[in-house]
Amino acid sequence: MREVLLVRALAGDDRDAEALRARGVDVVEDPYLSVAACTDAAAVDRAGHCVDEIASGSDWLVVTSQAALRALSELTGADALRESMVKGQARGLRIATVGAATAAALAELGAVDVLVPSVSTAAALEEQLATLGPASVIAPQGSQAMKGLASGLRALGWQIDEQIVYETTTVTERPASADRLAAGAFAAVVFRSPTALRAVTTFVPRLPDGTLVVCGGPTTAAEAERLAIGTVVVSPAPTADAVADTVVSALSS
């Protein structure tokens, strides 16, 4: 079996790599994205606003990525963020996220009861929240965040306070794996976000025939179909084990 490429952000996690290697798959990890806390003059003010809203303002905290929590911790201090979580929950703040990994990160910061939809998509989260509102939401997010959840809730009368606290950008230097990817050296490429897909197409507009595009969920798969980057396979769940099983099954067949 040829190698599988994992498209990563700089300093990204390696759970997919661990799961694939446990199944005997050779993996190459390469950063095509950079994810970092905002550095503009108003970044600390936006992060501070989020912390204030968590502690004493909004009805809900909605976080769709771990990167938002890392950025808040960096910009305001982890202790200040934890303190705001404790204060907010004491007054009735509710917390929601899309997936289990971000829910675990929230728990590390003191979140006690986090709403996570059974299907890890923004659409599924919107559907659940729709039955619990309308209400006010503080939503720390990234520069490339999808707008579907916010616009859907606004249409239902929710007040959404979106604050950009981190930036996701394509790396400036051509990744080491790009030429090999264009030459068909990889059996499959694993994508975890639409942003990752767009980053790869900056360097390799379309994958060679025979290279599978494995997506962690339907939102990423929809972007892959829009970009017409190659043959798309969608994992039934976003967990590392589910994605690894999808890769192995697709390549075996």
Please compute the mean of the pLDDT values over residues 191-219 and round it to a whole number.
92
**pLDDT value at position 237?**
84
Task: Tell me, yes or no, whether 156 and 179 share the same domain.
Answer: no
Single residue among 149, 166, 183 that ends a domain in this structure = 166
The parent domain of residue 80 ranges over: 43-166
Task: Tell me, yes or no, whether 47 and 148 share the same domain.
Answer: yes
Q: Evaluate the omega torsion of the peptide bond into residue 134 and state whether it is cis, within 30 degrees of 0.
A: yes
Q: How far is the CA of 98 from the CAs of 72, 101, 124, 127, in angstroms?
A: 18, 9, 8, 12
pLDDT tens digits for range 103-121: 999 999 999 999 999 887 8
Average pLDDT, the chain: 92
Task: Tell me, yes or no, whether 113 and 182 share the same domain.
Answer: no
**pLDDT value at position 122?**
83
Single residue among 166, 190, 215 that ends a domain in this structure = 166
Task: Tell me, yes or no, whether 116 and 48 share the same domain.
Answer: yes
Sheet holding 3-9, edge to edge: 114-115, 94-97, 60-63, 136-142, 159-170, 27-37, 3-9, 186-191, 212-215, 231-234
Task: Tell me, yes or no, whether 50 and 111 share the same domain.
Answer: yes
Please compute the mean of the pLDDT values over residues 213-240 and round it to a whole number.
91
φ, ψ at 31 (rounded to 5°): -80, 120
Task: Tell me, yes or no, whether 159 and 47 share the same domain.
Answer: yes
Range list of H helices, the chain: 15-22, 43-56, 66-76, 78-91, 100-108, 122-130, 148-155, 178-182, 194-203, 218-227, 240-252
Single residue among 142, 166, 190 that ends a domain in this structure = 166
Q: Which CATH number goes with the domain that contains 149?
A: 3.40.50.10090
Q: Which one, of 128, 131, 132, 123, lies nearest residue 151 by Cα?
A: 123
106: CB partners within 8 A, 6+ apart: 63, 69, 85, 95, 97, 114
pLDDT category at 240 given cuts 50, 70, 90 is confident
Q: How many C-beta atoms lie closer than 10 Å to residue 90's C-beta?
A: 9
Q: What percent of the chain has pLDDT over 90?
A: 79
Task: Tell me, yes or no, whether 16 and 80 share the same domain.
Answer: no
Q: Which one, of 235, 231, 237, 227, lies nearest residue 199 by Cα?
A: 227
pLDDT tens digits for range 64-100: 889 999 999 999 999 999 999 999 999 999 999 988 8
Higher pLDDT among residues 106 and 101, named by residue = 106
Please compute the mean of the pLDDT values over residues 135-140 and round it to a whole number.
97
Task: Tell me, yes or no, whether 159 and 175 share the same domain.
Answer: no
Task: Tell me, yes or no, whether 50 and 126 share the same domain.
Answer: yes
